[in-house]
Amino acid sequence: MTHTDIAKALVGTFVSGDVAVAEASALPSYKQHNLNFGDCRDAFVAAVKGLQEAPVKTTLKTVRSFEDGEYVVLHSIVNFAGSGDQVALDVFRFEDDKIAEHWDNVANVVAPNPSGHT
């Protein structure tokens, strides 16, 4: 698997709920830079479990991805547990074939701007 495949599998666990994939994708010391989530792989796994308990299931569509050495960037449209569509930009840093760090930015989907871009 490429680093991109591993990163896509990790974010895909928000939809699938596959805790084994989440555990296999990230180092136990996984560093989370999103202030809404706890640090370490166990905190990520807990978030995956929490989304599976939500009455509305999460959806995710990765629009594009980039891989450069130890970094992978994913651009996705995600709807966390029925909260509405949002644009997510995720950056992952790998050590060997495991995710070591994650940064992201999530924003609501908006109408096109005057140049026609969203």
Query: What digits encode the pLDDT tens for the residues 91-115?
Result: 999 999 999 999 999 999 989 999 9
> Does residue 117 surpass a pLDDT of 90?
no
Residue 40 and residue 18 in contact, taking contact as beta carbons nearer than 8 Å: no
User: Can you spell out the DSSP letters for 12-75?
Assistant: HHHHH--HHHHHHHEEEEEEE--TTS-SSHHHHHHHHHHHHHSSS--EEEEEEEEEETTEEEEE
- Output the CA angle 8-14-17, nearest 5 degrees: 110
pLDDT for res 84: 94
pLDDT tens by residue, 19-63: 999 999 999 999 999 988 889 999 999 999 999 999 999 999 999
Distance (Å, rounded) from C-alpha 95 to C-alpha 106? 24
Taking Cα atoms as reference points, which of 114, 112, 111, 92 lies closest to residue 103?
92
Q: Does pLDDT of 118 surpass 90?
A: no
Q: What is the pLDDT of residues 56-85, one digit of tens each?
A: 999 999 999 999 999 999 999 999 999 999
Report which residue type is found at 31: K
Residue 10 has pLDDT above 90, yes or no: yes
Domain range list for the chain: 3-108
Q: Which fold has domain 3-108?
A: Nuclear Transport Factor 2; Chain: A, (3.10.450)
pTM given for the model: 0.92
